């Protein structure tokens, strides 16, 4: 997947001319004072919004793995995220909750939100993002289990389409002990409420 996304990113040539054309198509004048620098600002913002394509979990972890004393569940909850819906190019945002059960190693706590950020900063669907975060943590840490729950508000549902302002989408991915053991899964879900 990384190779595919990396290649797709290389093929995208975002330039001021194409942004000006987009502004013109909306019926605006791209040379109007308030819009003159919009193409540059948009390109800069878009590069940041999609910066996850330039990173991978192993780079982010950068060896921040430490010996574990025991195998107690570790939870990092309420991680804010901002992503972009690949279907409408509109933002979705919310909270990510991550847990893992160590198997001889723990990870630096700040690395979990950083891993989540890699996958949020791409054109996404929430279901895939949730699974990618779980898979990445599972791959770099090799724990007994990983659980990820994502709560998202999708502006493609809020500001257009069905226009349901209070709707929230919840997705989950459970791996290892969280998938196999109902008690472990229930403990995690009760702790993130």
The catalytic residues are 85-88, 126, 154, 156
Q: Which of 117, 106, 118 is nearest to 53 (CA)?
A: 118
* Pairwise CA distance, residues 149 & 96, whole Å: 6
Q: Residue holding tokens 């999708």?
A: 154
Please check whether residue 118 is in contact with residue 82, taking contact to mean a CB–CB distance below 8 angstroms: no
Name the β-bridge partners of 76.
Answer: 98
Specify the 3-state DSSP secondary structure of 189. Answer: helix
Contact (CB, 8 A) for 98 and 80: no
């Amino acid at each position: 997947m990384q190779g595919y996304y990396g290649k797709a990113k290389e093929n995208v040539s975002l330039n001021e001319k194409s942004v000006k054309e987009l502004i013109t198509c909306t019926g605006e004048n791209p040379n109007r004072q308030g819009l003159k620098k919009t193409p540059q600002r948009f390109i800069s913002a878009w590069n940041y919004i999609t910066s996850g394509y330039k990173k991978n979990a192993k780079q982010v972890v950068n060896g921040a793995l430490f010996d574990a004393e025991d195998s107690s569940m570790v939870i990092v909850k309420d991680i804010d995220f901002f992503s972009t819906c690949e279907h409408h190019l509109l933002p979705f945002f919310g909270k990510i909750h991550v847990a893992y059960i160590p198997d001889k190693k723990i990870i630096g706590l700040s690395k979990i939100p950083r891993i989540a950020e890699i996958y949020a900063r791409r054109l996404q669907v929430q279901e895939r993002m949730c699974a990618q975060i779980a898979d990445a943590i599972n791959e770099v840490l090799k724990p007994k289990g990983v659980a990820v729950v994502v709560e998202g508000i999708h502006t493609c549902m809020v500001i257009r389409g069905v226009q349901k302002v209070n709707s929230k989408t919840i997705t989950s991915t459970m791996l290892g002990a969280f998938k196999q053991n109902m008690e472990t899964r229930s403990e995690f879900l009760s702790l993130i409420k």
